[in-house]
Structure 1
Amino acid sequence: MNNKFDLLKKQYLVILKEMTRYGSSSNRPQIRQLKNILEFIDEVNSGEVTDEVLEALRRMNNSLYPPHGGLGEFYIWVDDFDERMKLNEPLDKVRDFTWKTLNT
């Protein structure tokens, strides 16, 4: 598999785990799309990563960020501020990584 796709897959797995664990029913569309993205990455596992493949993945990723709600507004809430910051830091890094990797 393309090294870039290996890294992206790991990032999407982190997001999926956290959304499944801490998300609500309003996050179902994003959870479903994350599973679709992971399946897509697995399908191109042995194939060539073309510009078309990257564009398809970029569109799928961008659909996680609708104007309202979605991954851009998802955060983990716990009452303890320090714990909340600790839980959200990896999620913020993962979101930044996937966005920058696919959109720059």
Structure 2
Amino acid sequence: METKLLEIKQTIENLLKYLEQYNNGEINYQVNELKKALEIIQSSANYTSKIKEISDIQKNIYPTRGGLSDFYVWRSDEDERIAINKPISELGDTLWNLLK
């Protein structure tokens, strides 16, 4: 159980590094929700409560339109664009799978 929370925590921390660096203001809400998820993980709440609260946050960061699933960093240089967006996409997918 705690292993899953550790995986979620590490994924969020890694994802936040990219999002904070490349956020153009479009995903401030999602960044704040991810930070809130980290606070929940660090809290003294029990495992079940933590998972429920973080799952609720998942709905906020992956709405039907917009959110993390639609976040994309544009760069003219294709290699640079891929180098930035690939890890963001992979970490987002990992987080989605951990929380579903």
- Asked whether the two chains share a fold, i.e. TM above 0.5, the reply is yes
SS at structure 2 position matched to 1:90? helix
Correspondence 1:88 to 2:85:
yes
Give the aligned partner of residue 22 of structure 2.
22
In the alignment, the residues of structure 1 paired with residue 25 and residue 46 of structure 2 have an alpha-carbon distance, to the nearest angstrom, of 36
In the alignment, the residues of structure 1 paired with residue 37 and residue 46 of structure 2 have an alpha-carbon distance, to the nearest angstrom, of 17
Deviations 1:29-52 (A, max 9, x none): 1111111011111114xx5422x4
Equivalent residues in 2 for 1:47-58, closer than 5 Å? 48-50=46-48, 52-58=49-55
Deviations 1:41-76 (A, max 9, x none): 1114xx5422x4322211112210122221111122
Q: How many residues align?
A: 100
Equivalent residues in 2 for 1:1-104, closer than 5 Å? 2-44=2-44, 48-50=46-48, 52-103=49-100
2:62, 2:68 within 8 Å by CA — same for their partners in 1? yes
Computed over aligned residues only, the root mean square deviation of the Cα atoms, in angstroms, reads: 1.8
Could you list the runs of 4 or more consecutive aligned residues of structure 1 that deviate by over 4 angstroms after TM superposition? Answer: none
1:19, 1:31 within 8 Å by CA — same for their partners in 2? yes
Q: Which runs of 5+ in 2 are unaligned?
A: none
After TM superposition, the score normalised by the length of structure 1 is 0.84
Name the % identity.
30
Q: Which runs of 5+ in 1 are unaligned?
A: none
